[in-house]
Structure 1
């Protein structure tokens, strides 16, 4: 019987596993090696690792956790999780059976992209979703914000203005900005184009032009795009975990979900911005909570 299984080998899952290992708890990390940031060339704002490739950061994390003899890592997908009386039973894609006292869902999210022709050629190279992650590399360039989201379009344009004063906001044929927001953009020198986009044009991942259905073209060097977010794994809902209004796995702030023995951490909770350093911090906190709960359950009073 394992003390805990961690599903997801990103920064949240690996950080939790590190805490479990240092507490001498028997744990297995499952990872299918299909991260959301697989198109990302560099990860930023992670202290001591700024600019590192995500796969290198992951490999360093694996090396850290495997120093501890009670922790192992399985590069395969978990297909099923079943609640038993006092534990959980997991079945992998290879048909392997595991039993554990606790399960941590660090399964992350998947992006849902707007339907813009050519977007996939530039996302992760010159179009991004987070100004704090990639704004520095785009500073002082001719940038675009592509967003059909009424909550995000204004906020993304406003934030990006910290890194460039040459910004155009494109809503791809949608009326998502209020007149007040348009006036605010105009006061700050930000142009708004509401025409539908026909295609994004460029070479080798570098955006060069945006063509609209009217045939008009504008020159842009990069920018931000609003992406929707969905759970990358169905386990939280299939187990009956309460979900928050924004689609994240709801926790008590310490990682416990509404199902005793099931924990969640990282992007899957949608409780913090999707940044590696925040996910790692959350994983550390939830790992400590799992250890604390295991101690409470075994300690004789």
Structure 2
């Protein structure tokens, strides 16, 4: 990001609370930034609340996003998107974590954080998920480099390598079987007191020659983000090239709950084809909306769709065809 652009964004950040903006976007990842760019281009005044956390802040290189033949690091994509957003005076970035939200489309919404408050006519939730990675010293440094969570994102680059799948459910067993189509060196570590893999999936793993180790992680061996081995509490040393964590993720739906937004049975925010939630004037985009399809491409699309729906919602009746 250029120095001038960075300064321009910074000047429009922390004191953005005066008055009521058209839209408040909670989340500064690909979904939120995509929504903000679209809203700004519609001429809407928009606030983006970015805490600097989330999947797009890991070290992962995205090879699926169209237009980048050599892939692009998600942190670089985030920087480019922020630079792009910084060119629109209608958009402002606020580096606060929203802890409370209330209101309605008729009266407007109030967002609160650490003694600050902001008002918005619409709200777009792009709060993402909290991944349940294995925890060991310096585990964060391995995420996106040699510890992954998505076969769609990183399976291809790990063809023929030694892979350790971590998880104790049929979802982990299924991921191990899928990875087995890319390499014949796959093992599964439950990393849990319980082993919930069903007999059916156990037979599939056995038939594929995938060893299941029912034990928990004691420590990891590696350096500079590259794992070399996992040592279990039982003393096993499991050499590996990559670890795929299939221990699940929790959608960040606290704010949705405060607004009374309906959740799907999966626990994710329920949205329609336009990213509308069950509450008028509230939209959701990105990983927080679905159990599957956690992709940057999906997040960018959903952010754009949500922004377009919010923009239409904000038009006065005489500009609407319905």
* Same-fold status (TM-score > 0.5): yes
| Distance (Å, rounded) in 1 between the aligned partners of 2:199 and 2:252 | 36
Native 8 Å contact 1:117 1:198 kept in 2: no
1:193 aligned to 2:213?
yes
1:152 aligned to 2:171?
yes
Q: 1:279 aligns with which of 286, 295, 299?
A: 299
The TM-score with structure 1 as length reference comes to 0.89
Q: Residues 216-264 of structure 1: CA distance to partner in whole angstroms, max 9, x if unpaired?
A: 3232221211133223462111121112222211222322112211111
Q: Residues 151-181 of structure 1: CA distance to partner in whole angstroms, max 9, x if unpaired?
A: 3112110121232111111223532223332
Structure 2 partner of 1:91: 112
Native 8 Å contact 1:80 1:90 kept in 2: yes
| Distance (Å, rounded) in 1 between the aligned partners of 2:317 and 2:126 | 23
Q: Summarize the Cα distance change of 1:129–1:14 in structure 2 as closer, same or farther, 3 Å threshold.
A: same
Structure 2 partner of 1:165: 184
1:269 aligned to 2:286?
no
Cα distance, 1:297 vs. partner? 4.2
| Distance (Å, rounded) in 1 between the aligned partners of 2:162 and 2:114 | 47
**What's the secondary structure of 2:96's corresponding residue?**
coil
Structure 1 partner of 2:36: 17
| Distance (Å, rounded) in 2 between the aligned partners of 1:57 and 1:117 | 28
| Distance (Å, rounded) in 1 between the aligned partners of 2:268 and 2:71 | 28
Q: 2:240 aligns with which of 182, 206, 220?
A: 220
Q: 1:2 aligns with which of 21, 30, 40?
A: 21
1:108 aligned to 2:128?
yes
Q: Summarize the Cα distance change of 1:210–1:289 in structure 2 as closer, same or farther, 3 Å threshold.
A: same
| Distance (Å, rounded) in 2 between the aligned partners of 1:91 and 1:174 | 40
Structure 1 partner of 2:142: 122
| Distance (Å, rounded) in 1 between the aligned partners of 2:32 and 2:303 | 6
Cα distance, 1:140 vs. partner? 0.9
Q: Residues 30-79 of structure 1: CA distance to partner in whole angstroms, max 9, x if unpaired?
A: 21212234232422311123532222211211222233332222233334
| Distance (Å, rounded) in 2 between the aligned partners of 1:203 and 1:152 | 29
Cα distance, 1:126 vs. partner? 1.1
Native 8 Å contact 2:30 2:299 kept in 1: yes
Count, aligned residues: 299
Q: 1:246 aligns with which of 240, 261, 266?
A: 266
| Distance (Å, rounded) in 1 between the aligned partners of 2:95 and 2:140 | 27
Deviates more, 1:284-293 or 1:177-186: 177-186
Deviates more, 1:122-131 or 1:227-236: 227-236
Cα distance, 1:296 vs. partner? 5.8
The TM-score with structure 2 as length reference comes to 0.83
Structure 2 partner of 1:45: 64
**Which residues of structure 1 form unaligned runs of 5+?**
none
Cα distance, 1:94 vs. partner? 5.7
Q: 2:161 aligns with which of 130, 141, 152?
A: 141
| Distance (Å, rounded) in 1 between the aligned partners of 2:270 and 2:174 | 25
Q: Summarize the Cα distance change of 1:68–1:238 in structure 2 as closer, same or farther, 3 Å threshold.
A: same
**Which residues of structure 2 form unaligned runs of 5+?**
1-19
Cα distance, 1:118 vs. partner? 7.1
Native 8 Å contact 1:272 1:278 kept in 2: no
Q: 1:183 aligns with which of 203, 209, 215?
A: 203
Structure 2 partner of 1:35: 54
